[in-house]
Amino acid sequence: MSLQVVTANRLDDGLAVFMTADDGWSTDLRDAVCAEDAPQAEALMARADTEKQQVTVVGPYLIDVAQEDGVLVPTKYREVLRTLGPSVRTDLGYQAG
Amino acid sequence: MYRYDDFDRQLLAERTAQFRDQVARRISGELTEDQFKPLRLMNGVYLQLHAYMLRVAVPYGTMNGEQMRKLGYIARTYDKGYGHFTTRQNIQYNWPKLNEIPDALADLATVEMHAIQTSGNCIRNTTTDQYAGAAADEIEDPRPYCELIRQWSTFHPEFTYLPRKFKIAVTGSPNDRAAVRVHDIGLRMHKNDAGETGFEVIVGGGLGRTPFVGKTVRDFIGKNDLFSYLEAILRVYNRFGRRDNKYKARIKILVHEVGVDEIRRLVEEEWSKIRDGSLRVSDDEIAQYIAQFAPPAFEELQANDPEFERRKQAHPDFAAWVRSNVIAHKQPGYAIANISLKPIGGIPGDATADQMELVGDLADQYSFGDVRVTHEQNLVLPHVKKADLFALWAELNSALLATANLGFVTDIIACPGLDYCALATARSIPLSQRISERFGDLERQYDIGELKIKISGCINACGHHHVGHIGILGLDKRGKEFYQITLGGDASQDASIGKIAGAGFSEAEVVDAIEALITRYIDIRTVGERFIDTYRRVGMDPFKEVLYGDR
Ligand code: HEM
Ligand code: SF4
């Protein structure tokens, strides 16, 4: 199985976020906590999908990621775009820095 | 000009206050997302890939200058300085924060705008000809009927939970610019043998995953009977539409499954019970609505303006813009000016806050404060004096709003696609930009002639690809974007659904494929033939051949 992390959109501003080891959320995928197998992924989802988390984020789900040169990157292009911003507006979103 | 009445104003104020409360309760955790989602959708708020999205209604695509400026203000204040005009004659904002959206809605309400009926399984905003009230080829202004439909359908108690969303489009001209044959109900105004004006009623058109050209259920319905007839159609749909399967719930599926004759029988039966009831609209009432859309105070002018002719001689760029973007007006001495939101290599339908504010000002200055949004993602100033066209063009030009490409190959419809949309399977915008750059040269565009390219980023077909002369559908093939080409679609009075040419193309190949199609067309066209005409004459094979050879 590929490595997985939990992503969601933040409730207040809607931005893409990734779950961290302390059950918090970061806008940077590199801060995310990784699941290495299915039971771990399930456990992560259980921590993400609670009533308490609902006050912070919307719609948590698992995505596949890979280690590339020591950093986590999503495998699917859709999720790559969520870590960057629109490819047609590189002045906007996380990619704008 | 038409105005919201007090009822609307109060209703909007209540709705905004209610939504503010709902947002507060969601943020405090009192409402779960499951409880909140239908409420936000009812107020035009979606969640997209990067952020929330707010869809604001522009009823039948008509606005005044102040409203247009307010859209610019919203873009600057609550978004990142731009907005996206859509094929539904609406505008979408891509970055609003949830806790600020109630403020944005309150600001919109100050100019009588809102996000109602932009989402959910209700009767959505009615769309119409962007040249309504101005076009030389129009029988009558369709907007009074659109407004009647709006009032009849807004919060209609029977129709707030239809099996699925429901879209109505109206054209008052025989040249259909509102794509009425691909809507749930399309109304085409025409005159019967007795010389009365009424509507052909077309039902069951639609795009999405199963596209259909609508079928005529009635050749002619008089104006007074229109609303009882619409009500009868909606009742039949409400009763028989398939609620068991989201993908089969649109009226087009019902019409297709039971056949138009049976639908006609059911509708006529229902109508016979209600036709003399309260939905019959009297001539007096209709006259009141027509008065709300009374033409502006046109001056009596000569059809031709010598100064205008001289400017065209002196400024080839201006002449080119007039040739492609300016259209005949019914009033002598006036013209309809189209503002292209398709700069070469730009993002179709996007406008900056500054551009929106400028267009609002120009509408006030040159077009009786009237501005329109088109389903092809452009803007229109409908009532400009020919004598003012040069000054208008110069201002548009300085704001990058004078691209002279209306209806040509770079006037591409593209949905937001994977750059923004959570449902997308591929990007649409970058492809439209690359095609636009490939064919950016104006002389080349004019040589190619009218050609409608429409791109959707998934099977939902928000970018109308099924009715593009060349349609492009973005799909995901094992994690890679790839693009399926359809040919022969048409959204006009000669509506047709495009046919899939064959296997899809990779992102790297697709622009070359489009160019090959266009080159083939140029090689085989006869004089005066548009791409679609040639396609209809010769069929798919010559085009398939250049795409696939012997493959
Ligand atoms: C970005 C958020 C959007 C979402 C989530 C969305 C969702 C959908 C869905 C699910 C459908 C299929 C409906 C069906 O077949 O029953 C659809 C159809 C459609 N949408 Fe969108 N859409 C979005 C944006 C847009 C935009 C930007 C436009 C205009 C450019 C648009 C215009 C349309 C049109 C014209 C159709 C097809 C007509 C029809 O059969 O209803 N939508 N949309
Ligand atoms: S066609 Fe698909 S990708 Fe494009 S806006 Fe509609 S739902 Fe999104």
Alpha carbons within 13 A on the beta-carbon side of B417: 34
Q: What is the pLDDT of residue B550?
A: 64
Residue B46 to residue A19: CA distance in whole angstroms: 22
Inter-residue contact B159 to B121 (CB < 8 Å): no
Residue B548: Cβ within 10 Å count:
12
**B423 CA distance to ligand 2 centroid (A)?**
6
Cβ-based contacts of A77 with chain B (< 8 Å): 418, 479-481
What residues does ligand 1 touch, defined as CB less than 6 Å away? Answer: B 46, 48, 53, 86-88, 92, 164, 167, 206-209, 250, 415-416, 421, 423, 460-462, 464
Residue B427 to residue B244: CA distance in whole angstroms: 31
Inter-chain residue contact A89 with B419, CB threshold 8 Å: yes
Q: What are phi and psi of A54, to 5 degrees?
A: -60, -20
DSSP string, B57-125: --GGGEEEHHHHHHHHHHHHHHSSSEEEE-TTS-EEES---GGGHHHHHHHHHTTT---TTSSSSSB--
Q: Write the single-letter amino acid at B491.
A: A
Mean pLDDT for chain B overall: 93
Lay out the sheet containing B350-352: strands in order across: B45-47, B52-56, B91-93, B82-85, B350-352
Mean pLDDT score, A45-68:
95
| Ranges of chain B whose pLDDT falls below 70 | 1-5, 117-120, 155, 550-551
Inter-chain residue contact B98 with A59, CB threshold 8 Å: no
Q: What is the pLDDT of residue B169?
A: 94
**B112 CA distance to ligand 2 centroid (A)?**
28
> Is the model's pLDDT at A84 over the cut of 60?
yes
Inter-chain residue contact A88 with B481, CB threshold 8 Å: no
Residue in chain A closest to B433 (alpha carbons) equals A88
Inter-residue contact B93 to B399 (CB < 8 Å): no
Q: What is the pLDDT of residue B42?
A: 87
Nearest ligand (C-alpha, residue B373): 1
- The pick from B462, B464, B465, B466 for probing ligand 1's pocket by mutation, whose C-beta has the most ligand atoms within 8 angstroms, reads B462
Q: What is the pLDDT of residue B199?
A: 96
Atom of ligand 1 nearest to the CA of B90: 29
Q: What structural domains does chain B harbor? A: 6-109 (3.30.70), 134-289 (3.30.413.10), 306-398 (3.90.480.20), 413-548 (3.30.413.10)
Q: What is the pLDDT of residue B5?
A: 67
Q: What are phi and psi of B12, to 5 degrees?
A: -65, -45
CA dihedral sign of residues B383, B386, B387, B390: positive
Alpha carbons within 13 A on the beta-carbon side of B13: 8
The per-residue pLDDT for range B255-297, each reduced to its tens digit, is 999 999 999 999 999 999 999 888 888 999 999 999 999 999 9
Q: What is the pLDDT of residue B1?
A: 34
> Is the model's pLDDT at A28 over the cut of 90?
yes
What's the gap in Å between the CA of A76 and the closest CA on chain B? 6
Q: What is the pLDDT of residue B279?
A: 84
Q: What is the pLDDT of residue B120?
A: 67
Q: Quick one: tokens of B249?
A: 């719930």
Residue A26 to residue B284: CA distance in whole angstroms: 62
Q: Looking up tokens 């009868």, which residue turns up? A: B232
